[in-house]
Each structure stands twice: as structure tokens, then as C-alpha cells.
A and B are shown apart, each in its own frame.
Chain A
Amino acid sequence: MSIIWYMAVMAGITYLIRMIPFTLFRKKIKSPFFRSFLYYIPYAVLSAMTIPAIFYSTGNLYTATVGTAVAVVLSYFGKPLTVVALCSALAAFAADFIF
């Protein structure tokens, strides 16, 4: 299948998700379940996307594990997103000289 169709579906759906509520919705969602569901969804999605994929992200299980450990520690201490992201890559790069 041509990549242009994938791109059109991706962009179209993502835009509609943003546009429809922002343009049409003038009230707040009342359902506590739905509100809570929307609150938890980002964390659940990112967790499912990261684990276990992060261990394959560098093409080398050992360097990826080192990078992950650094990211976990820095995140735990609340470092900014960019700092965590770049330091984990730096750690994986450094580990590449060992493994």
C-alpha cells in the first residue's frame, strides 16, 4: 500500500481528534468514568509503547539497558524531558564502547 494513504489516515484522524472537541465542545465532560479514563490513557499508552520496546531501541540489549537505567533514575528525580532523553542516549552511546 502506498505510504500516502497511511499518512492521510494518520494526519486526518489526529486532526479530527483535536479539532472536533476544540471547535464544537462548549461544556465539560460530566461522566467521572470517562474523565478518569482520559486522565489515565496517556500514561497507559506511553508505558505500553515503552516497555519492552525501549530494550530494542538501540539494536543492542546491553546498551539499551544502560540507557534505560539512566532514563529511569533521571526521570525518578524529575529531570526535564530533554535532559532525560539526551542523557539516556549518551549513556547508551558510552556503553557501546564497553559492550
Chain B
Amino acid sequence: MKSDFLKGAKDGLPICFGYLSVSFGFGILAVSLGLSVLSAVGISLTNLTSAGQVAGVGIIAAGGSLFEMALTQLIINIRYSLMGISLSQKLDEKFSTFHRLLASFGITDEIFAVAVAQKSVSPFYMYGLISVSALGWVTGTFLGAFAGNVLPSSVSGALGIVLYGMFLAIILPPAKTNRPVLIAVLIAAALSIVFKYVLAFVSEGFAIIICAVIAAGFCAFFFPVHDEEKEAEE
């Protein structure tokens, strides 16, 4: 039990450092949109996800509806459902319903990627992995939110790009080798530009949902994925 936790914690260290820098950017973004340091840290502590949080603080800043918030989180984070299903195949016999309820909180892209590569996954391995990763995520958010008020605008401005840079690093390598992914990326980007400059009355959260559903739906219809390994990489 203890050794499982330590192994998970050790495997979580690279995630922790990665999250530190990215969540630093989220902290700065949240404060620049008018959120308090406490709210920014609270959101990171209770959500533990990058894209959903960025869209979420955008909706809060714009005074969007709770329905828009719920739907946006659903669409952006629905991928965790697939990851949860995939990871559930690897759980060992100690993974009772109670442990599933607890560990599911920490399913992120990176934590999933590390956990699913294990032969079998125990509850305390997940807890080690999640706590170390979450520590980096929350600490980085606090530092970014706190420093966002103190740093000169040239520095905090430049750091505003951190999260988007990370998003590009996630989508571009697969888009380079996988044509349907490239098509999904291009359709979504093109629609997003249309919403920004032509259909500006549609709020940001809904615009993201519509762009993503059309792009992913189009590609799912015309380029269905057969290879199971591709999905496991997700």
C-alpha cells in the first residue's frame, strides 16, 4: 500500500513540474480576468483540468449562465469519460467502488497516460500519482495568481500565452502525422475564427462547443477510428 503510493508519487513528479508552469499561466489568466487568488486556487483544487478551467474562467468573467458553464465543461471534459472507461480495464481487485469514487477525481490527460501504461493499477498508486500532480497544479495556480498582481505587465502578459502554447503542443504533433486529426483541428479553428469575427454575439463557451462538436462529428462520420491503440493514447 505504502510502496504503491510512493511509486505513484514518483511517477507523478514529471507531471507535477509540467503542471507547475502551466497552472502558473492559469493563475495569471484567472486574476487578469478579475478573479481573486482564492477563487483561482479553489478552481484548480476542485477541477484539476486545464482546458475546462480556462473556458470556465472565461465564462465567469463574461457573466455567462450556469447552463452554459455546465454544457461547456461537459463538452470539453467528456474525453475523461473515455479515459475512465479505458483505465477501468486496468484496475486491480483492490479497486472497490469507494476507491473508484475517490480516484476518478484525478483522471487528467497526463495522469491517465501514465496510469494506463502500467500493467495493473492499484488505488494507492493512483493516490500517489494524483496527489503529487495536484500539488503541482494547485501550487502553480497560487504562484501565478499571486505573482500576476506583482509582476510587471511585460512578464505577466508574456506568460498569458503559456497555456495556449501547451494546447498547440498537444494538437500539432498528432495533426502532423494523422490527417483526420489535422482536418478536425482546421475545421474547429476555422469555425472559431468565424464565431470570433462574424458571429460575435455567440458567447465564447457556446462557440467552443459548437466548433468542437461540428469538427469532431464531421471527422467521426467521415474518418471513423478503428485502431484501438490510437484511442488508448488519448
Residues of A within 8 A of B (CB): 1, 3, 5-7, 9-11, 13-15, 17-23, 25-26, 28-29, 32-54, 57-60, 63-64, 67-68, 71-72, 74-76, 78-90, 92-93, 96
Residues of A within 8 A of B75 (CB): 41, 45
Q: Given the known inter-chain contacts A36-B224, A89-B161, please indicate yes or no for A48 contacting B212, CB distance below 8 A.
A: yes
Contact A9 B73 (CB under 8 A): yes
Q: Given the known inter-chain contacts A36-B220, A80-B169, please indicate yes or no for A42 contacting B18, CB distance below 8 A.
A: no
Q: How far is the CB of A86 from chain B (nearest CB, A)?
A: 6
Contact B158 A11 (CB under 8 A): no
A63, B155: Cα distance in complex, Å: 12
Can you show 25 pairs from A to B with CB atoms below 8 A apart? A6-B56, A7-B42, A10-B56, A17-B78, A19-B100, A22-B87, A25-B84, A26-B88, A36-B220, A40-B181, A44-B212, A47-B185, A50-B167, A57-B161, A58-B160, A64-B161, A67-B158, A71-B161, A71-B169, A75-B171, A76-B172, A81-B22, A82-B18, A89-B158, A89-B162
Q: How far is the CB of B96 from chain A (nearest CB, A)?
A: 10
Q: A47-B192, A50-B164, A50-B168 are in contact. List 10 more A-B contacts (CB 8 A).
A: A17-B81, A22-B100, A43-B170, A43-B181, A43-B184, A44-B212, A44-B219, A47-B185, A58-B161, A82-B22
Q: Given the known inter-chain contacts A14-B77, A20-B81, A36-B219, please indicate yes or no for A57 contacting B164, CB distance below 8 A.
A: yes
Contact B216 A47 (CB under 8 A): no
| Nearest neighbor of A96 in chain B, beta-carbon distance | B154
Identify B52's interface contact among A14, A23, A63, CB under 8 A: A14
Contact B234 A39 (CB under 8 A): yes
Residues of A within 8 A of B2 (CB): none
A71, B1: Cα distance in complex, Å: 41
Identify B55's interface contact among A23, A49, A83, A86, CB under 8 A: A49
Total A-B pairs in contact (CB under 8 Å)? 298
Residues of B within 8 A of A1 (CB): 63, 66
Interface of B is mostly: helix
Residues of B within 8 A of A3 (CB): 35, 39, 60
Residues of B within 8 A of A33 (CB): 220-221, 224
Identify A42's interface contact among B53, B79, B153, B154, CB under 8 A: B79
A59, B33: Cα distance in complex, Å: 12
Contact A72 B168 (CB under 8 A): yes
Residues of B within 8 A of A32 (CB): 224-226
Contact B216 A46 (CB under 8 A): no
